[in-house]
Each structure stands twice: as C-alpha cells, then as structure tokens.
C-alpha cells in the first residue's frame, strides 16, 4: 500500500512539474519572443494565456496545502477565474486601448569613428554613409514589419529617395550595399530593413543610408549645410504603404 502511495505521489509530482514547465514556456514565449507572438491573432494569444494560467494553477496545486486539501472544485474555480483574465485583456481591453499606426522620431546623428561628423563615415566608396539613430513605436496590436527611407528635396525642388540598407539582399553579387551590410553587421545597435516592431513596443537603433549625389549635383554634406528639406518615411514592407513620416534633423 505504501509503495502504491509513493508511486501515485511520484506520478502526481511528475505531472505537476510538466504542467508548471508548460506554463513557464508560455510566459517565456510572450516575454522573449514578442515579434512572433505579435503576429498571432488575438484569439490565439488569449487562448495561450488561458492555457498557461490553467497549467500553472493545476501544476502548483499539489504543493499548496490549502489547495491540496480542498476538493478539486475549488482549484478549478480559481483556475477558470484567473484564465478568464487573458481573453478579457486580449479581446476586450487591448483593442479598446491600443492606438493605431506607428510613430517615429530621430534621436541622433551618431558618429561611427572619431574622424566622422554628423553620422557620416567614408568606407572606401564614393558615397557617404549616413547612420542616424531613430526610434519607432508600434501603437497597434500586431507586429509591424517596415522599411525606412530618407526623402530629400534638392535645390531644384526635385525629390531624392534613399532606402536604408537591407538585412537580406536579393542576390549575392558584390555591391556597395552588400559591402556596407557586411561591414556593419558585426556591430551592435544597427537596424537593417525590414525592421520588425512588436505591438506596444519601441525599437531604437541606427539605420544605414548610402547617399549618392542629389539630382542637382549637390553632395549630402552640401545638402545638410543648405538645410534642404528632408524627412524619414516609414513604409509597410509588404504593401509599400506609407505608415509614418518624421523630419530629419541635424543633431
């Protein structure tokens, strides 16, 4: 009889441990993988939250004297009540309080080496490399993937559009963009497009622009000195839709 009880206790402890581990894994998923969870539907996120709560309540029951002495009805009622918080948050509270769209801001024109200024560095090419520090905040309820552009007007009032350096290039041919990407990819703090922003989160970092001459023949340095109108444009990576814009400032 004693051996049977010990075996039952062992099985109960094993099942409880697995349940607690499952609950911890769900918490880790939400905390450390916000980009991936932000791509899930609200119903899926609500279900995951409820499952995690029920696993946690069921897993810790054998280790709580009050719970373990009570009928199974009491822990079940507590678990259901706590599990209801997740659907309420994801399906009611979050859609009602979340904002729309994306907000961007330039924080600095960072330098890469001591010999550079205004975030421009020569890396052996004919083009300057501009690396402003930007902040992007996603006020929506889903993960957004965006591309970042720098739009400038030259002295002839003609627009010039520069795309930030991409994380993945369409081919393996050597190019200025590929060389710059390889040069800076080993350094922390750089953002390469598309930039993934979890819902309700802010991403900060330095984006990289390879600046060729403007349409009127002015260099980027000259354009900055003449205060040509310039702004950053944030576009949806899939559709190309403009989702935000904010001015470029010489900080």
Please state whether beta strands 209-210 and 230-236 pair in parallel, antiparallel, or not at all (unpaired). unpaired
In CATH, 102-247 is 3.30.9: no
Of how many residues is the chain composed? 251
pLDDT, position 74: 65
CA distance to 29, 88, 118, 214, 232, per residue, from 155 (Å): 51, 55, 21, 9, 18
Instruction: Write out pLDDT tens, residues 82-134.
Output: 889 999 999 999 999 888 789 999 998 754 443 444 555 545 556 678 889 99
Omega of the bond prior to 194 within 30 degrees of 0, cis? yes
What is the domain partition of the chain in residue ranges? 2-97, 102-247
> How many CB atoms sit inside 10 A of residue 133's CB?
19
pLDDT per position as a tens digit, 148-191: 999 987 767 778 888 999 998 876 566 778 888 888 877 888 99
As a whole number of angstroms, the distance between CA 27 and CA 104 comes to 29
Strands 202-207 and 190-191: parallel
> How much is the pTM?
0.82
- Mean of pLDDT values over 47-52: 95
Torsions phi, psi for 117 (to 5 deg): -145, 150
């Amino acid at each position: 009889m004693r051996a049977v009880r010990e075996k039952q206790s062992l099985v109960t402890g094993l099942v409880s441990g697995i349940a607690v581990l499952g609950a911890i894994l769900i918490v880790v998923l939400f905390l450390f993988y916000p980009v991936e969870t932000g791509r899930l539907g609200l119903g899926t996120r609500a279900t995951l939250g409820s499952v995690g709560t029920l696993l946690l309540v069921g897993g810790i029951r054998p280790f709580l004297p009050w719970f373990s002495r009570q009928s199974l009805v009491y822990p079940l009622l507590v678990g259901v009540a706590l599990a209801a918080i997740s659907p309420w948050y994801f399906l009611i509270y979050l859609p009602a309080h979340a904002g729309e769209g994306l907000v961007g801001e330039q924080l600095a024109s960072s330098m890469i080496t001591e010999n550079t200024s205004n975030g421009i560095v020569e890396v052996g090419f004919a083009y300057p490399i501009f690396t402003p520090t930007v902040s992007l905040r996603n006020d929506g309820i889903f993960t957004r993937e965006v591309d970042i552009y720098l739009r400038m007007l030259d002295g002839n009032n003609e627009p010039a559009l520069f795309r930030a350096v991409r994380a993945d290039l369409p081919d393996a041919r050597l190019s200025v963009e590929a060389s710059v990407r390889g040069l800076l990819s080993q350094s922390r703090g750089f953002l390469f497009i598309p930039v993934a922003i979890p819902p309700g989160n802010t991403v900060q970092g330095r984006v990289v622009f390879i600046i060729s001459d403007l349409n009127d023949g002015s260099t980027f340095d000259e354009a900055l000195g003449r205060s040509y109108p310039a702004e950053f444009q944030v576009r949806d990576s899939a559709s190309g839709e403009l989702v935000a814009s904010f001015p470029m400032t010489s900080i």
